[in-house]
């Protein structure tokens, strides 16, 4: 087992390793005095893994109630969120108790938001079961649900007390889910660590999952520790995301987040290289990394469509929009663009 400590406002450990779910009871005991919890999971992950977590919790003296919602992004809404809260209340969960989110980013975001708001906030533990959740969403304390008007429009910052990542769970991931996680992994390497990029380009990643998650978590933690509430440096984690979100939106959310981010990174790299912000060769390296993990790089939408979708993005402040560009491989910065500037950026991103 490897452990990374996230030094957020309240520090917490991220344990990464094989078979960790069977030690959940012992690991959870280290961070709470309560012996009651609610396990939130989805209809796919629950049958696969909840039994092991519950058995381990029970052995350590915990009593747990379980809520499973239908798997998938479409469940990440106010209705499911409301049902989770009612479930907590019906089972008399108190502020002394805690929540465990067992599943991918959808489960983590939604159970985290329920924990952030139930009785004005109860502790929660993330047990991510996708590479994306392990490497990105379960660390950093962003929780949310989607509205009809857009993704993640309601949420809260609420840091977990503990993150338990059992890398064995990745073995049952559906086709394509690993690639989604690799998009955020490539993003972390591109913005923060050129050596990690070299590692990813050279190694057989399926045999190196523990290290990959660890490095992802270290990079994300180092950014989040400096800027927990995303006022500055944390924005760098949005590399590929301004246009990535626009692509998700244009597709009616049929293009998954990781795939959209992959295309978004390629677009941002092309625009930045053409504008002379990124050195020659950046686009080629970004495209090679995405291709290596089976991720798409071609954008199916015209510049005008992307611009319209991007200007509806919640990250647009009054003064303009921040896009992230690579100063070189392994180093990123934000560019503040007004609406005209964004238009030029999107034009320059087109092949």
Ligand X SMILES: NC(=O)c1ccc[n+]([C@@H]2O[C@H](COP(=O)([O-])OP(=O)(O)OC[C@H]3O[C@@H](n4cnc5c(N)ncnc54)[C@H](O)[C@@H]3O)[C@@H](O)[C@H]2O)c1
Which residues are identified as catalytic?
Answer: 120, 142, 184, 220, 230, 234, 238, 241, 245, 257
Instruction: Find tokens 């503040």 and name the residue.
Output: 336
- Indicate whether 44 belongs to the interface with ligand X (CB under 6 A): yes
Distance between CA 211 and CA 2 in Å, rounded? 9
- Indicate whether 279 belongs to the interface with ligand X (CB under 6 A): no
The minimum distance between CB 302 and ligand X, in angstroms, equals: 25
- Indicate whether 130 belongs to the interface with ligand X (CB under 6 A): yes
How many chain residues bind ligand X (CB under 6 A)?
31
Q: 173-232: which residues touch ligand X (CB under 6 A)?
A: 173-174, 177, 180
Q: Which two tokens stand for residue 168?
A: 């064995």
> Which one of 15, 52, 142, 234 is in contact with ligand X (CB under 6 A)?
142
- Indicate whether 337 belongs to the interface with ligand X (CB under 6 A): no
The minimum distance between CB 50 and ligand X, in angstroms, equals: 12
Q: Which stretch binds ligand X (CB under 6 A): 99-107, 265-273, 280-288, 314-322?
A: 99-107
The minimum distance between CB 130 and ligand X, in angstroms, equals: 3
Q: Are 125 and 138 in contact (CB under 8 A)?
A: no
Q: What is the DSSP string of 80-131?
A: HHHHHHHHHHHTT--TTSEEEEEESHHHHHHHHHHHHHGGG--EEEEEE-SH
Distance between CA 90 and CA 97 in Å, rounded? 14
> Which one of 52, 76, 187, 234 is in contact with ligand X (CB under 6 A)?
76
Q: Which stretch binds ligand X (CB under 6 A): 17-25, 54-62, 70-78, 93-101?
A: 70-78
> Which one of 72, 82, 176, 304 is in contact with ligand X (CB under 6 A)?
72
Q: Are 249 and 312 in contact (CB under 8 A)?
A: yes
> Which one of 45, 162, 224, 266 is in contact with ligand X (CB under 6 A)?
45
Distance between CA 170 and CA 176 in Å, rounded? 11
Helix (H) or strand (E) holding 64: strand 63-69
- Indicate whether 160 belongs to the interface with ligand X (CB under 6 A): no
Helix (H) or strand (E) holding 10: none
Helices 241-250 and 303-311: angle between axes, nearest 10 degrees = 100
The minimum distance between CB 108 and ligand X, in angstroms, equals: 7
In this structure, is the dihedral angle defined by the CA atoms of residues 214, 219, 220 and 224, taken in order, positive or negative? positive
Give how far the C-alpha of residue 88 lies from the chain's centroid of Cα atoms, to the nearest Å: 25
- Residue with Cβ nearer ligand X (47 or 281): 47
- Indicate whether 107 belongs to the interface with ligand X (CB under 6 A): yes
């Amino acid at each position: 087992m490897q452990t990374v400590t996230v030094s957020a406002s309240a520090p917490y450990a991220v344990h990464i390793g094989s078979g960790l779910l069977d030690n959940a009871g012992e690991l959870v005991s280290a961070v709470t005095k309560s012996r009651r919890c609610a396990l939130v999971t989805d209809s796919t992950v629950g049958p696969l893994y909840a039994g092991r977590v519950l058995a381990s919790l029970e052995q350590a003296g915990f009593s747990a109630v379980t809520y499973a919602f239908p798997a998938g992004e479409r469940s990440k809404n106010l209705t499911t969120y409301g049902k989770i809260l009612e479930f907590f209340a019906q089972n008399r969960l108190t502020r002394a108790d805690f929540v465990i989110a067992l599943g991918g980013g959808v489960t983590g975001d939604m159970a985290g938001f329920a924990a952030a708001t139930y009785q004005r906030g109860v502790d929660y533990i993330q047990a991510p079961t996708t590479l994306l959740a392990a490497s990105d969403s379960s660390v950093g304390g962003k929780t949310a649900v989607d509205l009809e008007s857009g993704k993640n429009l309601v949420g809260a910052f609420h840091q977990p007390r503990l993150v338990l990542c059992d890398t064995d769970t990745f073995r049952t991931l559906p086709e394509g889910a690993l690639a989604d996680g690799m998009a955020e992994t490539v993003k972390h390497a591109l913005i923060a660590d050129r050596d990690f990029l070299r590692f990813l380009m050279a190694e057989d990643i399926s045999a190196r999952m523990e290290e990959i998650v660890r490095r992802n978590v270290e990079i994300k933690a180092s950014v989040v520790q400096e800027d927990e509430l995303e006022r500055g440096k944390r924005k760098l984690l949005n590399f590929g995301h301004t246009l990535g979100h626009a692509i998700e939106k244009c597709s009616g959310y049929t293009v998954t987040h990781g795939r959209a981010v992959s295309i978004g990174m390629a677009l941002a790299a092309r625009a930045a290289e053409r504008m002379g912000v990124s050195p020659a060769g950046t686009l080629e390296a970004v495209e090679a990394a995405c291709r290596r993990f089976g991720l798409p790089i071609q954008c199916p939408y015209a510049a005008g469509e992307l611009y319209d979708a991007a200007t509806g993005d919640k990250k647009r402040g009054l003064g303009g929009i921040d896009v992230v560009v690579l100063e070189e491989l392994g180093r990123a910065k934000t560019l503040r663009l007004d609406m005209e500037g964004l238009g030029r950026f999107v034009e320059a991103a087109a092949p």
